[in-house]
Amino acid sequence: MPLSDGEQRRLDEIERALRSDDPKFAATITISRVRRRRAAVAGGLFLIGMIALVGGLVTADAALWIGVVITVAGVAAMVAGALLYFNPPHFTARRIRPRRRRG
């Protein structure tokens, strides 16, 4: 869902204020860095799921229920990794309200 004009203006103001207040910090925060980290975490989770899946299948030969549990956990990790990679993050804009003084 795209931002309204007012929301986009406020976001731009916040971004300009951040860049003027702390330019070094603002330079380190980029969307591409967040996307790379998200993809790396999703890939790692998928890989761990694959290892658990194979390990569960090997273990199922000796101890059926333990192997089944490990296999199901591996498949769940693979699904979670795939969902994390393919679903975009859903950011919700929170309205910042000034605090009211008591008394």
Q: What are phi and psi of 29, to 5 degrees?
A: -95, 105
Assigned domain for 12 exists = yes
DSSP state of 29: -
19 lies in which domain range?
A: 5-86
Could you tell me which of 75, 18, 20, 9 has the C-alpha nearest to residue 46?
A: 75
- Cα–Cα distance, 48 to 70 (Å, whole number): 11
pLDDT in tens, the chain (103 residues): 577 888 888 888 888 888 888 888 777 777 777 788 889 999 999 999 999 999 999 999 899 999 999 999 999 999 999 999 998 766 554 555 555 666 5
Q: Position 30: which residue type?
A: T
Assigned domain for 81 exists = yes
* 3-class DSSP string for 55-88: HHHHHHHHCHHHHHHHHHHHHHHHHHHHHHHHCC
- Sequence-separated (6 or more) residues with CB below 8 Å from residue 69: 56
| Structural domain count, the chain | 1
Assigned domain for 56 exists = yes
- The answer to whether the CB of 43 falls within 8 A of the CB of 68 is no
Assigned domain for 101 exists = no
Assigned domain for 100 exists = no
pLDDT at 90: 64
Assigned domain for 13 exists = yes
